[in-house]
Structure 1
Amino acid sequence: MSADVLSVIPTDPYWQPLRAAADHAAATVADMVPGLPGTEVEIDVTWHAQLTAVDCGENLETRIGCPLCGSSIDTEWWGDLLEAHCEDGFPNLAVQAPCCGVETSLDLLDYDWPCGFARFEIAIWDPERIWFSAEELAAIATALGHPVRQIRAHI
Protein backbone atom coordinates (compact mmCIF):
# COMPACT_ATOMS: atom_id res chain seq x y z
CA MET A 1 0.00 0.00 0.00
CA SER A 2 1.35 3.43 -0.88
CA ALA A 3 1.47 6.45 1.40
CA ASP A 4 2.22 10.14 1.17
CA VAL A 5 4.48 11.75 3.74
CA LEU A 6 4.90 15.49 4.17
CA SER A 7 8.07 16.16 6.17
CA VAL A 8 9.30 19.38 7.74
CA ILE A 9 13.04 19.62 8.34
CA PRO A 10 15.42 22.39 9.46
CA THR A 11 17.16 24.27 6.65
CA ASP A 12 20.47 23.43 8.36
CA PRO A 13 20.80 19.63 8.01
CA TYR A 14 22.92 19.36 11.18
CA TRP A 15 20.64 21.38 13.48
CA GLN A 16 18.46 19.77 16.17
CA PRO A 17 15.95 21.50 18.47
CA LEU A 18 15.39 21.09 22.18
CA ARG A 19 12.46 18.85 23.16
CA ALA A 20 10.18 21.76 24.14
CA ALA A 21 10.64 23.49 20.77
CA ALA A 22 10.06 20.22 18.91
CA ASP A 23 6.87 19.57 20.88
CA HIS A 24 5.66 23.12 20.16
CA ALA A 25 6.37 22.72 16.43
CA ALA A 26 4.64 19.31 16.33
CA ALA A 27 1.55 20.82 18.00
CA THR A 28 1.59 23.65 15.43
CA VAL A 29 1.76 21.09 12.62
CA ALA A 30 -1.06 19.02 14.17
CA ASP A 31 -3.31 22.11 14.11
CA MET A 32 -2.61 22.48 10.38
CA VAL A 33 -3.39 18.87 9.41
CA PRO A 34 -6.52 17.79 11.26
CA GLY A 35 -7.16 14.82 8.93
CA LEU A 36 -10.44 13.55 7.65
CA PRO A 37 -13.49 13.56 9.91
CA GLY A 38 -13.25 10.68 12.37
CA THR A 39 -9.57 10.04 11.69
CA GLU A 40 -6.34 11.21 13.23
CA VAL A 41 -3.26 12.05 11.21
CA GLU A 42 -0.07 10.25 12.26
CA ILE A 43 2.77 12.66 13.07
CA ASP A 44 6.25 11.30 13.81
CA VAL A 45 8.86 13.52 15.46
CA THR A 46 12.35 12.08 15.05
CA TRP A 47 15.85 13.02 16.15
CA HIS A 48 18.26 11.15 13.88
CA ALA A 49 21.69 10.17 15.28
CA GLN A 50 23.29 10.77 11.86
CA LEU A 51 22.40 12.85 8.85
CA THR A 52 19.46 11.12 7.23
CA ALA A 53 18.13 11.53 3.71
CA VAL A 54 14.61 12.89 3.58
CA ASP A 55 13.79 12.11 -0.01
CA CYS A 56 10.65 12.44 -2.08
CA GLY A 57 10.32 8.71 -2.84
CA GLU A 58 8.54 7.99 -6.09
CA ASN A 59 8.00 11.73 -6.68
CA LEU A 60 11.61 11.91 -7.91
CA GLU A 61 10.67 11.10 -11.47
CA THR A 62 13.05 12.51 -13.95
CA ARG A 63 16.11 14.42 -12.91
CA ILE A 64 18.78 15.33 -10.41
CA GLY A 65 20.94 18.15 -11.69
CA CYS A 66 24.57 18.87 -10.94
CA PRO A 67 25.01 22.40 -9.52
CA LEU A 68 28.52 22.55 -10.97
CA CYS A 69 28.29 21.46 -14.61
CA GLY A 70 24.50 21.41 -15.08
CA SER A 71 24.43 17.79 -16.24
CA SER A 72 21.77 15.32 -15.24
CA ILE A 73 22.79 12.80 -12.60
CA ASP A 74 21.42 9.29 -13.00
CA THR A 75 18.63 8.63 -10.48
CA GLU A 76 20.00 5.08 -10.14
CA TRP A 77 23.18 6.60 -8.65
CA TRP A 78 20.96 8.43 -6.13
CA GLY A 79 19.03 5.26 -5.29
CA ASP A 80 22.25 3.30 -4.74
CA LEU A 81 23.55 6.07 -2.47
CA LEU A 82 20.36 6.06 -0.38
CA GLU A 83 20.45 2.29 -0.09
CA ALA A 84 24.08 2.33 1.02
CA HIS A 85 23.26 4.77 3.86
CA CYS A 86 19.73 3.71 4.81
CA GLU A 87 20.77 1.98 8.03
CA ASP A 88 23.51 4.21 9.42
CA GLY A 89 22.91 7.61 7.82
CA PHE A 90 25.49 9.87 6.23
CA PRO A 91 28.65 10.92 8.10
CA ASN A 92 28.60 14.16 6.06
CA LEU A 93 27.16 15.48 2.81
CA ALA A 94 30.38 15.68 0.78
CA VAL A 95 30.21 13.79 -2.49
CA GLN A 96 32.03 13.61 -5.78
CA ALA A 97 29.58 14.45 -8.56
CA PRO A 98 29.36 11.39 -10.83
CA CYS A 99 28.99 13.55 -13.94
CA CYS A 100 32.01 15.87 -13.68
CA GLY A 101 33.96 14.44 -10.74
CA VAL A 102 34.00 17.71 -8.79
CA GLU A 103 33.44 17.71 -5.01
CA THR A 104 30.06 19.11 -3.95
CA SER A 105 27.48 18.60 -1.24
CA LEU A 106 24.45 16.33 -1.52
CA ASP A 107 22.17 19.11 -0.29
CA LEU A 108 23.29 21.32 -3.20
CA LEU A 109 22.16 18.93 -5.93
CA ASP A 110 19.15 20.11 -7.96
CA TYR A 111 16.37 17.57 -7.24
CA ASP A 112 13.32 17.75 -9.51
CA TRP A 113 11.14 17.30 -6.39
CA PRO A 114 12.55 18.64 -3.13
CA CYS A 115 14.84 16.28 -1.21
CA GLY A 116 16.88 17.06 1.86
CA PHE A 117 18.98 15.83 4.73
CA ALA A 118 18.34 16.25 8.41
CA ARG A 119 19.08 15.19 11.95
CA PHE A 120 15.55 16.25 12.95
CA GLU A 121 12.27 15.64 11.16
CA ILE A 122 8.54 16.06 11.66
CA ALA A 123 6.78 13.61 9.31
CA ILE A 124 3.04 13.75 8.65
CA TRP A 125 1.63 10.54 7.16
CA ASP A 126 -1.17 10.94 4.59
CA PRO A 127 -1.77 14.56 5.57
CA GLU A 128 -4.71 15.15 3.19
CA ARG A 129 -2.89 18.18 1.77
CA ILE A 130 -0.10 18.71 -0.74
CA TRP A 131 2.15 21.43 0.79
CA PHE A 132 2.29 23.91 3.62
CA SER A 133 1.99 27.55 2.54
CA ALA A 134 4.83 30.01 3.11
CA GLU A 135 2.89 31.46 6.05
CA GLU A 136 2.40 28.02 7.59
CA LEU A 137 6.10 27.18 7.18
CA ALA A 138 6.94 30.49 8.89
CA ALA A 139 4.65 29.57 11.81
CA ILE A 140 6.30 26.14 12.13
CA ALA A 141 9.74 27.77 11.98
CA THR A 142 8.76 30.21 14.73
CA ALA A 143 7.51 27.35 16.92
CA LEU A 144 10.67 25.34 16.27
CA GLY A 145 13.07 28.26 16.60
CA HIS A 146 14.79 27.59 13.26
CA PRO A 147 13.93 28.07 9.54
CA VAL A 148 12.37 24.99 7.93
CA ARG A 149 11.68 23.48 4.53
CA GLN A 150 9.32 20.76 3.40
CA ILE A 151 9.69 17.51 1.49
CA ARG A 152 6.76 15.53 0.09
CA ALA A 153 7.31 11.82 -0.49
CA HIS A 154 5.19 9.20 -2.15
CA ILE A 155 6.24 5.76 -0.93
Structure 2
Amino acid sequence: MSDDVLSIIPTDPWWQPDRAAGERAAALAEELAPGLPGSVEVEIDTTWHDALTVVDCGANLERIRCPQCRASIDTEWWADRLEDHSQSGFATLAVEVPCCGAATSLDLLNYDWPCGFARFEIAVWNPERDWLGDEELAAIADALGHPVKQIRAHI
Protein backbone atom coordinates (compact mmCIF):
# COMPACT_ATOMS: atom_id res chain seq x y z
CA MET A 1 0.00 0.00 0.00
CA SER A 2 1.25 3.48 -0.75
CA ASP A 3 0.92 6.51 1.49
CA ASP A 4 0.75 10.25 1.01
CA VAL A 5 2.41 12.47 3.57
CA LEU A 6 1.94 16.21 3.89
CA SER A 7 4.85 17.57 5.94
CA ILE A 8 5.03 21.04 7.41
CA ILE A 9 8.53 22.28 8.23
CA PRO A 10 10.11 25.59 9.25
CA THR A 11 11.56 27.66 6.39
CA ASP A 12 14.86 27.77 8.30
CA PRO A 13 16.16 24.17 8.24
CA TRP A 14 18.07 24.57 11.54
CA TRP A 15 15.22 26.11 13.58
CA GLN A 16 13.24 24.17 16.19
CA PRO A 17 10.24 25.32 18.25
CA ASP A 18 9.74 24.64 21.92
CA ARG A 19 7.44 21.72 22.81
CA ALA A 20 4.36 23.83 23.48
CA ALA A 21 4.57 25.66 20.14
CA GLY A 22 5.23 22.41 18.25
CA GLU A 23 2.24 20.72 19.86
CA ARG A 24 -0.03 23.73 19.15
CA ALA A 25 0.99 23.71 15.49
CA ALA A 26 0.49 19.93 15.22
CA ALA A 27 -3.00 20.20 16.76
CA LEU A 28 -3.91 22.87 14.21
CA ALA A 29 -2.53 20.72 11.35
CA GLU A 30 -4.73 17.86 12.57
CA GLU A 31 -7.79 20.14 12.49
CA LEU A 32 -6.96 21.25 8.94
CA ALA A 33 -6.48 17.70 7.60
CA PRO A 34 -8.92 15.47 9.49
CA GLY A 35 -9.38 12.90 6.70
CA LEU A 36 -12.70 11.71 5.33
CA PRO A 37 -15.19 9.45 7.11
CA GLY A 38 -14.64 5.84 6.07
CA SER A 39 -11.18 6.49 4.61
CA VAL A 40 -7.72 5.67 5.91
CA GLU A 41 -7.28 7.28 9.33
CA VAL A 42 -5.08 10.37 9.40
CA GLU A 43 -2.02 10.06 11.62
CA ILE A 44 0.03 13.04 12.78
CA ASP A 45 3.71 12.57 13.62
CA THR A 46 5.48 15.50 15.25
CA THR A 47 9.26 15.08 15.32
CA TRP A 48 12.08 17.11 16.80
CA HIS A 49 15.06 15.68 14.91
CA ASP A 50 18.43 15.64 16.69
CA ALA A 51 20.20 16.31 13.40
CA LEU A 52 19.21 18.08 10.21
CA THR A 53 17.08 15.65 8.17
CA VAL A 54 15.89 15.58 4.56
CA VAL A 55 12.14 15.89 4.04
CA ASP A 56 11.63 14.84 0.44
CA CYS A 57 8.62 14.34 -1.79
CA GLY A 58 9.24 10.64 -2.48
CA ALA A 59 7.93 9.45 -5.83
CA ASN A 60 6.60 12.95 -6.57
CA LEU A 61 10.10 14.26 -7.38
CA GLU A 62 10.18 15.07 -11.08
CA ARG A 63 13.34 17.16 -11.47
CA ILE A 64 15.87 19.35 -9.73
CA ARG A 65 17.30 22.56 -11.21
CA CYS A 66 20.31 24.64 -10.31
CA PRO A 67 19.38 27.96 -8.67
CA GLN A 68 22.30 29.66 -10.49
CA CYS A 69 22.22 28.49 -14.13
CA ARG A 70 18.76 26.79 -14.12
CA ALA A 71 20.24 23.59 -15.63
CA SER A 72 18.78 20.22 -14.66
CA ILE A 73 20.65 18.39 -11.92
CA ASP A 74 20.75 14.62 -12.08
CA THR A 75 18.67 13.11 -9.28
CA GLU A 76 21.38 10.47 -8.79
CA TRP A 77 23.86 13.25 -7.90
CA TRP A 78 21.33 14.55 -5.37
CA ALA A 79 20.67 11.04 -3.99
CA ASP A 80 24.43 10.58 -3.53
CA ARG A 81 24.58 13.81 -1.46
CA LEU A 82 21.75 12.49 0.71
CA GLU A 83 23.43 9.11 1.08
CA ASP A 84 26.62 10.81 2.25
CA HIS A 85 24.70 12.14 5.26
CA SER A 86 22.04 9.48 5.83
CA GLN A 87 23.50 8.13 9.07
CA SER A 88 25.02 11.21 10.69
CA GLY A 89 22.74 14.02 9.56
CA PHE A 90 23.86 17.13 7.74
CA ALA A 91 26.56 19.26 9.33
CA THR A 92 26.13 21.61 6.36
CA LEU A 93 23.92 21.90 3.32
CA ALA A 94 26.65 23.57 1.27
CA VAL A 95 27.36 21.96 -2.11
CA GLU A 96 29.03 22.70 -5.41
CA VAL A 97 26.54 21.91 -8.17
CA PRO A 98 27.80 19.71 -11.01
CA CYS A 99 26.28 21.77 -13.83
CA CYS A 100 28.09 25.11 -13.43
CA GLY A 101 30.26 24.56 -10.34
CA ALA A 102 28.44 27.25 -8.35
CA ALA A 103 28.53 27.13 -4.58
CA THR A 104 25.00 26.85 -3.19
CA SER A 105 23.00 24.92 -0.63
CA LEU A 106 20.93 21.75 -0.96
CA ASP A 107 17.91 23.58 0.44
CA LEU A 108 18.20 26.28 -2.26
CA LEU A 109 18.02 23.87 -5.21
CA ASN A 110 14.81 24.22 -7.24
CA TYR A 111 12.83 21.05 -6.61
CA ASP A 112 9.81 19.99 -8.65
CA TRP A 113 7.95 18.91 -6.28
CA PRO A 114 9.09 20.74 -3.15
CA CYS A 115 11.68 19.11 -0.89
CA GLY A 116 13.34 20.47 2.22
CA PHE A 117 15.53 19.93 5.25
CA ALA A 118 14.47 20.32 8.86
CA ARG A 119 15.10 19.66 12.52
CA PHE A 120 11.35 19.88 13.18
CA GLU A 121 8.54 18.28 11.18
CA ILE A 122 4.80 17.82 11.39
CA ALA A 123 3.90 14.88 9.13
CA VAL A 124 0.23 14.33 8.26
CA TRP A 125 -0.18 10.80 6.90
CA ASN A 126 -2.91 10.29 4.27
CA PRO A 127 -4.49 13.72 4.77
CA GLU A 128 -7.18 13.31 2.06
CA ARG A 129 -6.28 16.72 0.65
CA ASP A 130 -3.51 17.99 -1.55
CA TRP A 131 -2.01 21.19 -0.13
CA LEU A 132 -2.72 23.61 2.67
CA GLY A 133 -3.72 27.08 1.53
CA ASP A 134 -1.70 30.22 2.25
CA GLU A 135 -4.00 31.25 5.12
CA GLU A 136 -3.76 27.78 6.67
CA LEU A 137 0.04 27.82 6.43
CA ALA A 138 0.07 31.29 7.99
CA ALA A 139 -2.08 30.03 10.89
CA ILE A 140 0.30 27.12 11.50
CA ALA A 141 3.26 29.52 11.30
CA ASP A 142 1.59 31.75 13.90
CA ALA A 143 1.02 28.77 16.21
CA LEU A 144 4.60 27.62 15.71
CA GLY A 145 6.21 31.05 15.96
CA HIS A 146 8.14 30.70 12.68
CA PRO A 147 7.36 30.73 8.92
CA VAL A 148 6.69 27.30 7.43
CA LYS A 149 6.56 25.52 4.10
CA GLN A 150 4.99 22.25 3.04
CA ILE A 151 6.26 19.12 1.32
CA ARG A 152 3.92 16.50 -0.18
CA ALA A 153 5.38 13.02 -0.49
CA HIS A 154 4.06 9.89 -2.13
CA ILE A 155 5.73 6.80 -0.70
Matches within 5 A, 1:104-115: 104-115=104-115
Structure 2 counterpart of 1:99: 99
User: 1:43 is matched with which residue?
Assistant: 44
Provide the residue aligned with 1:72 in structure 2. 72
> What's 2:58 paired with?
57
5+ unaligned residues in a row in structure 1: which ranges?
A: none
Q: Shift of residue 78 of structure 1?
A: 1.4
Three-state SS of the structure 1 residue aligned to 2:122 is strand
CA separation in 2, counterparts of 1:33 and 1:74?
34
Deviation at 1:106, TM superposition (A): 0.7
Instruction: State the 1:101 CA deviation.
Output: 1.6
Quote the offset at 1:100 in angstroms. 1.5
Residue of structure 1 equivalent to 2:85: 85
Cα distance, 1:49 vs structure 2: 1.2
Task: Show the counterpart of 1:10.
Answer: 10
Determine what percentage of the aligned residue pairs are the same residue. Answer: 71
CA positional deviation for 1:36: 2.2
Backbone CA RMSD of aligned residues: 1.2
The corresponding residue for 1:132 is 132
What letter corresponds to residue 106 of structure 1 in structure 2?
Answer: L
How many residue pairs get aligned? The number is: 154
Determine if contact 2:41/2:126 at 8 Å carries over to the other structure.
no
| Cα distance between partner residues in 1 of 2:46 and 2:111 | 24
- Normalised by the length of structure 1, the TM-score is 0.94
Take 1:77 and 1:54, find their aligned partners in 2: how far apart are those partners?
17
Letter in 2 for 1:52: T
- CA distance in 2 between partners of 1:112 and 1:80 (Å): 18
Q: CA deviation at 1:45?
A: 0.4
Deviates more, 1:68-77 or 1:81-90: 81-90
